[in-house]
Amino acid sequence: MRFLWASLGLVCVGLGMLGVVLPLLPTMPFMLLAAFFFARSSERLHNWLLSHRQFGPAIADWHERGAINPRVKRISTIAIVAVFTLSVAMGIKPLVLVIQALVLACVLVFIWTRPNC
């Protein structure tokens, strides 16, 4: 079972790394999931992820307080608005725009109701 958890953790780290360079693929949810999987499989990988210069502090903040950095909240909001604006500019069907607006609004509410770190 530990092999399965470790494998899933490595897949999540890979997807998270792709998210660093691909604009629509989120990074931190995959890193949080990787930390979850590594905690159940490999103390060494778990410690590596928690001590990572870029991802470690955000994972610790989320784990301890469910907190999101205010800078990340602002960047996320800008990205969400940009994606929706692009969809409008591309002339996407109104029904799809309504669904997208509802989903993105829920994401924004979730992000902004989390405590600051």
Domain parsing of the chain, residue ranges: 2-65, 70-113
Distance CA(59)–CA(100), nearest Å, equals 28
The amino acid that residue 21 corresponds to is V
Which residues lie closer than 8 Å to 88 by C-beta, 6 or more apart? 97
With a CB cutoff of 8 Å and minimum separation 6, the contacts of 96 are 87
pTM tops 0.95: no
What is the four-CA torsion angle of 82, 112, 62, 13, rounded to 10 degrees?
Answer: -20
Give 9-32 pLDDT, tens digit per residue. Answer: 999 999 999 988 887 778 888 999
Both tokens of 69, joined, read 């950095």
Reported as a single tens digit per residue, the pLDDT across 42-100 is 999 999 999 999 889 999 999 899 999 999 899 889 989 998 999 999 999 999 999 99
Question: How high is the pLDDT of residue 18?
Answer: 92
Q: How many CA atoms lie within 13 A of 26 on its CB side?
A: 12
Helices 43-50 and 56-65 cross at an angle (nearest 10°) of: 100
